[in-house]
A = this chain, B = another copy of it.
Amino acid sequence: MRRQTIRDLAKAAGVSISTASNALNGTGRTNAETVERVKRVAEEIGFRPNALARGLLTKRSHAIGMLTNDTYGRLTLPMAAGVSEVLVDHGLSVFLCATNNDPRLARLHLETLLDRQVDGIIFTATRLDLKPPPELAKLSIPVVYAFAEGPENSISFFPDDAQGARLAVEHLQASGRSRIAHITGPEDYLAVRVRAKAYRDCVGPGAEVLYGDWSEEWGHEAIEQILSRGSDRPDAIFCGNDEIARGVIDALRDKNLAVPGDIAVVGFDNWEVISRQTRPPLTTIDMELKEIGHSAGLAILGLTRGEAVPSGITRLPCRLVVRQSCGGQTD
């Protein structure tokens, strides 16, 4: 059966098209009783407004685009889900645009989004220091950056890497550890530098940072390096991500060092496929990606409504997930 239009609704309710529209949207002057009747009839005949027609006129499509370069999806999807989750109840939908790091694709997606009159765009990157396409800055619709830094005066949301690092270190200190080492990823990642700095500030003299890559392999190797030094073994290790932490835990077991007995370990990411499966299960820092998605979604929502949204970088708190690799509590 043909989809019901507002014309059908008007006829069925015995009013004019404009009255029907006003009644549904609460605009104009309308009698309460009429409103009631129109709404009831709309329900009965199953009328739902055509979003295309509405958007054409109001110039608001109630849709936004989410531009990402992350194919594997480990970071993007939780954020996208967060965005969608917070927006669906406000009637906003999300276009997913995976660019695969290909500038041509990014441009193509961007043009299509503009053709579709999206109300805003959320840009996401997998690496904090990856630069978003410069075209974004010149758009006349709002743009929000999630896990990525936009140009001057733009709106960005990040996990609070420094606070996350402090959370980890302070948890270790609170459970009585004093010689804490930091094994992390490549120094050219912005997040790596931020976390390392927070770690240093927390630990004070004696801080020791080992940069490497994001692999378990590197976790093994770093442990090798640390232990081969002989003297002054650390009693805790703060790792830059969960993969490294897993390598560290395995290496320590190979060396017959107990976790957390001899050395406590804390990770970063709370990537559950790893952190739940290490032995013992890994205490780690969760970046609350979904929360970042929520914030980005709310920011876009506010902007499309013309509300003022504070610009600049907002850092959202990370959360400590306590499992068993630091002793004490269980999951």
Enumerate chain A interface residues (CB-CB to B < 8 A). Answer: 48-53, 55-56, 61, 63, 66, 71-74, 76-78, 80-81, 84-85, 88-89, 91, 93-98, 100, 105, 108-109, 111-117, 215-217, 243, 246-247, 271-274, 277
Contact = CB atoms under 8 A, between A and B. Distances in A.
Nearest to A70: B77
Contact of A96 (B66, B116, B215, B273): B66
Nearest to A93: B95
A77 B84 contact: no
Given A88-B105, A88-B108, A95-B96, 9 more contacts: A49-B115, A50-B115, A73-B77, A73-B80, A74-B74, A85-B100, A95-B95, A96-B96, A246-B277
A78 B73 contact: yes
Contacts of A96: 66, 80, 84, 94-96
B98 A81 contact: yes
Contacts of A274: 273
Contact of A277 (B61, B74, B105, B217): B217
A70 B288 CA distance: 17
Contacts of A48: 111, 114-115
A53 B274 CA distance: 49
Contacts of A50: 56, 115, 117
Contacts of A71: 77-78, 81
Given A81-B71, A273-B273, A116 B51 contact: yes
Contacts of A112: 51, 88, 91, 93
Contact of A98 (B61, B85, B273): B85
SS class, residues of chain A in contact with chain B:
helix
Contact of A52 (B56, B85, B95, B216): B56
Contacts of A115: 48-51
A245 to B, nearest CB: 12
Contacts of A273: 74, 243, 271, 273-274
6 contacts: A49-B115, A66-B96, A72-B78, A85-B98, A95-B96, A246-B277
Contact of A63 (B66, B116, B243): B116
Contacts of A113: 93
A78 B98 CA distance: 10
B66 A93 contact: no
A194 B246 CA distance: 33
Contacts of A97: 84, 88, 93
B114 A98 contact: no
Contacts of A100: 81, 85
Contacts of A272: 72
Contacts of A49: 115
Contacts of A215: 277
Contacts of A56: 50, 52-53, 56
Contacts of A216: 277
A270 to B, nearest CB: 12
A61 B112 CA distance: 12
A77 B71 CA distance: 7
A242 to B, nearest CB: 9
